[in-house]
Structures are given as structure tokens and as C-alpha cells.
A and B are shown apart, each in its own frame.
Chain A
């Protein structure tokens, strides 16, 4: 750490100063590893409650609806406009090379593989992840979570497990819709604005997309849905200190879920699409 040119007397302070970022980094790493460990234990604990009865169907269904139904409008709009903008962008690019016919290919692959799951994930993280953290956080700071424990009900089983399952199952469903609407957005722009033949566009779309593209896209969506629910529950469950604490955990839930979605997107893409 120390520089040999530096005078003897200055060394300790310099060494300390030089070490400060290192020790801060070390602390950050330790905190992150510790946090990841606690998060993983929380996730496993939540999942393990799915295997043991009772299962709270009503909580599962209401979380599922929150995910799938109420998020549908925002996800649908996002998907349509992304499909449209990709068609437009790739046309301006490809027309220079006379490769316009590749537009259908570009639209369907980017929507199904990436944009559908990622944009739906980010939208739902902001909507449902935040709401989950706020709801569970409020229950925590008003002692409702503890009250469950005194009424023969395990809060992990009652609050967390149904939401994790709902996230895992609902987001793929939402992404199916997003995929269809995204492709439709591309179709509209290509046919109406760029003058493609509708039949050729549809034929191109179906000839390019492979079942594997769709399946991996939906698997991504499942992973993202799980992460959104996990971050919402985890941050809400560990809320502290009144309204301010609940606000802070809501923010963390959305930020953490969004970052994790983008990280996992890269990892999953690396695993399945790059050979």
C-alpha cells in the first residue's frame, strides 16, 4: 500500500488513508455477502413453507391478481410501444443495407428474448414490488406481523410464501401477453408506416422465432417475478421505525429488484443464448 518515495513520518497516515477505501470496500463486500446470505435464507424459508400445509389460497390469488391483472395495462402499453420503436429504428438502420426484410426477425427476437421479460419485470417491480414492501412493512411496524404469530399463523407461510409463488407464476403469463403485443406493435409500424405486406411480415416472424426463444424468455420472466416478490417481501418484512422506515424499504425493494432483474437477465442470457 505504501509508496517507497514517501517520507518516513508520513507513512502511517498515508497508509491509513490508502487503506480507507480498501477497508470500506471490504466492509461493503462483507455486508453484501452477509446480506445475500440472509436474503437466500429468507427465500429458502419462504419456499419451504410452500411444501408444508396449510397453503393460503386466498392470499395467493390476491397476490396473483395484483401481479397479473392489475399490471396488465402498463405492461401492455410498454410492450406495444417497444415493438413499434424497434421496428422503426431497425428500418432506418437496415434500409442503408437493403436488409429491411430482417425487421420482423429483429422485432420478434428482441421482444421475446429480452424486452418482454425485462420491461415487464421493471414495470411490475415498480408497481407490485413496491406495493408488497409497503403492505408487509406497514404490517411489521404496526405489530400485525407479530399478531399473526400469536394467532397460530406463521407469518412466513401466510404473507411470504403465497406472494413468492404468485410472482413466479404470474409474470410469465404477463410476458406472454407482452410478447404478443410487442410483435403486434412491430407489425403495425411495418405495415402501416413502412408499407410491408402483412402476410410476409407474419410469415417472417413465425419462421424466425424458435420455441427455445419463447421458453427461455418465459423462464426469465418466472425468475424476475420471483425476485420482485422476494425483494418486496424481504424489505417489507425487515422494515423498522414507522412510516419513514416503510418508505425506505419500499424504495429498496424497487431498486434492488430492478438491479437484480438486469443482472440476472445478463446471467440467464449468457447461459442460454450465447454459444
Chain B
């Protein structure tokens, strides 16, 4: 088992002892994780293992019971409301099912964060619309898609629009919640490619969660496995398939027999 890596420099995201229970259910049980600037980390784990809860805690959407979360060395849980909002503006998030605003056309979805900023940094609607067109091109969509409603898009297109919305404000940090779930393998590979491109182009730090092994090795530099509320393994993403850890081995190779019992599937 590898501990948190010791590298030179302050980690972009530093998590220590993060715990969260819902009622009697301990979903996160002392998570320690470092994500270094300009790198991508994937967290793998079964359905319901708490991967989304982990991202939500960092985003401030869920308040953890214990632990610290630092971004650039600043404890975000101790911040006031204003500072927390400012921190959140530095993070872009691609939600599991896209979470596009279905009452708004695609371009307004993409430009939402640009239009919502505080006075002074807010974009005009014309400028935001133009910018939305550019970002749509970056994710491989024609700018005319901006005039459609989200309900008119296929699953793959919705993922692309979700990605466009996440990167529109050029955030320093990007979160991806199961970016390839629900897509066919080819579209999954396309989305992974776009994610890698975007992260590279922006020079962002990325944290992705997934249970898709192909996706994990494509997106991640580093990888970690979440099991029963703990990170039971951390290492290079390239070594996921031959980690030597029995839990990771069973998971990555999809074996029914092994230390992971069926209670994981509940």
C-alpha cells in the first residue's frame, strides 16, 4: 500500500482525514489524498462507494463530519461564504449525468458561469455567446449546436456540452464525475480524449472518478482506489492493471472472487 506521495511543492488539493456519514452509514472514513498541480488523479471504486460524495465535499456541496481540505494550502472548510464562493469559481465540474439546465439553450448552459460572475468580471451576453461558440468548437461541436435545447441532444453530445460548461471559465481545477458512464466505448474514448486535451490546454489540475478502467488509464497520471470509505491503494495510473494489491486487482480485472464481497454492490 502506498501512502500519500511525497513530492516537492505544495499540492493543489490536499485532503486529510476526510470523513462523512449519512445516518449510521460511514461513506468516507478518513481519506488522505494529494493532487499535485498540473496532474490528473483518478479515483476508482464501485457504485455507491462514495466517489461522488468525495467530490461534493471538496466543492462545498456537502459538509464533511471531520477532516481538512486545502486548495493551494488554504483550508477551504474554514473559509467564509464569500471566499468559499471564490474558491468554487476556480473549479469546473462535469456532473455524472451532465446536469445541463434544461430550461436554457445550449449556449447559455455553456456560458452560464461567465454570465453569473460578480459585477466587473461578468461578460456581456454577446461576448458570452461568442465565447460559448468557441468552447463548443473545442469539444468538437458545431457552434450552431448552441441554439438547440439540451433535450434535443444525444447522450454523447450532452457530455460534450457538460464538458464545455465546465471548461468555459478556464478553471484551475477540473472535476469529472464518471465522464464515460452511459456512453458506448468509442464515444467514451472520444470524451476521454477531449478531457485530456482540455486539461492539457488549460494546464489545469484534474480529479476524476470512474469505475471504467480504460477511462482511468487514459485520463489519469495517478490513481487511487476507494473501498469501504478509505483509499486502499494509491499509485501510478499506468500500474493499475498490475498493482499487486488484491482489492485493486479484483476490481480492475472484474473478478467475482476476491476480497471485495458482494456488499459493495448494494
Contacts and interface: CB of A to CB of B under 8 A. Distances in A.
Interface of A: 53-54, 135, 139, 142-144, 146-147, 149-154
A152 B87 CA distance: 10
A65 B96 CA distance: 33
A153 B112 contact: yes
Contacts of B95: 143, 146-147
Contacts, number: 48
A156 to B, nearest CB: 12
A193 to B, nearest CB: 47
A181 to B, nearest CB: 32
Contact of A152 (B60, B100, B101, B118): B118
A53 B101 CA distance: 22
A151 B99 contact: no
B88 A153 contact: no
Contact of B88 (A139, A144, A150): A150
A109 to B, nearest CB: 42
A143 B178 CA distance: 14
B116 A147 contact: no
B118 A150 contact: no
B interface bracket (residues with beta carbon within 8 Å of A): 20 to 34
Contacts of A151: 112-113, 116, 165
Contact of A150 (B93, B100, B101, B117): B93
Contacts of B56: 146
B115 to A, nearest CB: 9
A151 B89 CA distance: 7
Contacts of A144: 99-102
A139 B103 CA distance: 10
A146 B100 CA distance: 11
A149 B99 CA distance: 12
A53 B112 CA distance: 17
B99 A142 contact: yes
Interface in B85-113: 85, 88-89, 91-93, 95-97, 99-103, 112-113
Given A152-B85, A152-B89, A146 B116 contact: no
B59 interface: yes
Which A-B residue pairs are the 9 nearest by beta carbons?
Answer: A143-B99, A151-B113, A147-B99, A152-B116, A153-B116, A150-B93, A143-B95, A151-B112, A144-B99
Interface string B66-77: 000000000000
B61 interface: yes
18 contacts: A53-B119, A135-B103, A139-B101, A142-B97, A143-B95, A144-B99, A144-B100, A146-B56, A146-B61, A146-B95, A146-B99, A147-B100, A149-B60, A149-B61, A150-B88, A150-B92, A152-B89, A153-B112
A135 to B, nearest CB: 8
Contacts of A143: 95-97, 99
A152 B60 CA distance: 12
A152 B113 contact: yes
Interface core residue of A53, A147, A153, A154 (most chain B CB under 10 Å) = A147
A144 B162 CA distance: 11
A150 B93 CA distance: 7
B228 to A, nearest CB: 24
A147 B93 contact: yes
Contacts of B102: 144
Contacts of B93: 147, 150
A149 B59 contact: yes
Contacts of A135: 103
A256 B113 CA distance: 35
A146 B91 CA distance: 13
Interface string B133-161: 00000000000000000000000000000
B133 to A, nearest CB: 18
A147 B117 CA distance: 14
A147 B21 CA distance: 23
A142 B102 CA distance: 10
Given A142-B99, A143-B97, A150 B116 contact: no
Contacts of A54: 119
Nearest to B121: A152
A264 B117 CA distance: 40
Contacts of B85: 152, 154
Nearest to B60: A149
Contacts of B92: 150
Given A152-B88, A152-B116, A152-B117, A147 B101 contact: yes
Contacts of B60: 149
B100 to A, nearest CB: 8
Contact of A149 (B88, B97, B100, B101): B88
A100 B141 CA distance: 73
Given A149-B88, A151-B113, 5 more contacts: A139-B101, A143-B99, A144-B99, A147-B100, A151-B165
